[in-house]
Amino acid sequence: MKRRDFLKAAALTGLATTLKWKDGMELMAQKQSTGSKIPDLVAVMGGEPAAMFRKAIVEMGGMGRFVKKGQRVTIKPNIGWDRSPERAANTNPELVAEIVRQCLQAGAKEVLVFDHTCDEWKKCYTNSGIEAAAKNAGAKVVPGHESSYYREVTLPKGKRLKQASIHTAILDCDVWINVPILKNHGGAKMTISMKNLMGIVWDRGYFHRNDLQQCIADICTLGKAPVLNVVDAYRVMKTHGPQGRSEADVVNPKAMFVSTDMVAVDTAATKFFGQIQEMPLDSVGHIANGAAHKLGTMDLESLTIKRISL
């Protein structure tokens, strides 16, 4: 779908509680942030990934709100598939690089980037463009393909998932940032912030064998939650996820959603996705399960939301 056609479709249908268009071009708030209050969620559209993040993080109070001098930071993008950026199976490498730079500028001692990939990890890291982009920005890129990188933890609040082996890049860092791509998923319906936590776990097969939607919510009860969730919707895989078949599965809305609340940001992103491809919110069960765990809210009308058009 061309950007002009996407904007026209969005203008015709409206975006209920997520985004609302004025003249098909400008994002307007249903409930805008006012004064100096930091918004609960920032939605940006119309720019390149790095530029949208720079705008969003300023609205969120700056990277220094989340990363302190001397801290070890882990960034967890989606690098699961041996696909180029144009295929929208993985997080945009330009976005990952900008977040690395921002963390280092905030005084981070070290920034790690990793994922437990689905395809062969070296090919995923290389062909996604993320390894080169992250390294060039100053990060250390670490693998996740061996069980020795993981330690078992208990999940006292989990309903179906009671324990899991978690990558040490998450367990041993001071803070971590969750950077998923927004896309369709055949099993979970959507891949966004909550689903991206499957990439910090060694045995993902357990999720698929034991109520995938509940296990996704359960892993998010991990005591060490991300300090920030940055949803990459620059390119969006609308069908045949999570791998995609061709670039015909991809649209290019050039959007981004940022929040400290995984449930809220996934709710907003799913509603946004629903204007591209039909996706009822109640079909993405792990979001409601996350709200039931009190991980965040699905009530976007209760939040202060800042919407920006570049």
Q: Which residue has the higher pLDDT, 254 or 2?
A: 254
Looking at residue 89, what is its pLDDT?
Answer: 97
How far is it, in rounded angstroms, from Cα 69 to Cα 103?
9
How far is it, in rounded angstroms, from Cα 290 to Cα 216?
8
Looking at residue 36, what is its pLDDT?
Answer: 65
> How big is the chain, counted in residues?
310
The number of folded domains in the chain is 1
pLDDT digits (tens, 9 = 90+) for 136-156: 999 999 999 999 999 999 999
Looking at residue 33, what is its pLDDT?
Answer: 45
Looking at residue 44, what is its pLDDT?
Answer: 97
Range of the domain at 55: 3-309
**pLDDT confidence of 189, banded at 50, 70, 90?**
very high
Q: Reply yes or no on whether the pLDDT at 22 is more than 80.
A: no
pLDDT digits (tens, 9 = 90+) for 86-136: 999 999 999 999 999 999 999 999 999 999 999 999 999 999 999 999 999
Nearest to 166 by CA among 218, 191, 196, 201: 201
**pLDDT confidence of 35, banded at 50, 70, 90?**
low
Nearest to 224 by CA among 172, 296, 287, 146: 172
How far is it, in rounded angstroms, from Cα 91 to Cα 234?
9
pLDDT digits (tens, 9 = 90+) for 50-77: 999 999 999 999 999 999 999 999 999 9
DSSP strand pairing (228-237 vs 255-259): antiparallel
How far is it, in rounded angstroms, from Cα 133 to Cα 117?
17
Q: Share the mean pLDDT of the chain.
A: 90
User: Which residues touch 49 (CB under 8 Å, ≥6 apart)?
Assistant: 92, 94, 95, 98, 232, 234, 256
Question: Which runs of E-coded beta strand occur in 10-138?
Answer: 20-22, 26-28, 41-45, 72-77, 110-113
Q: If residue 286 lies in a helix (H) or strand (E), which one and from where to where?
A: helix 285-292
Percent residues over pLDDT 90 in the chain: 86
CATH number for the domain spanning 206: value is 3.40.50.11440
pTM for the predicted model, two decimal places: 0.90
Angle at 285 between CA 282 and CA 287, to 5 degrees: 90
Sign, Cα dihedral of 263, 177, 63, 234: negative
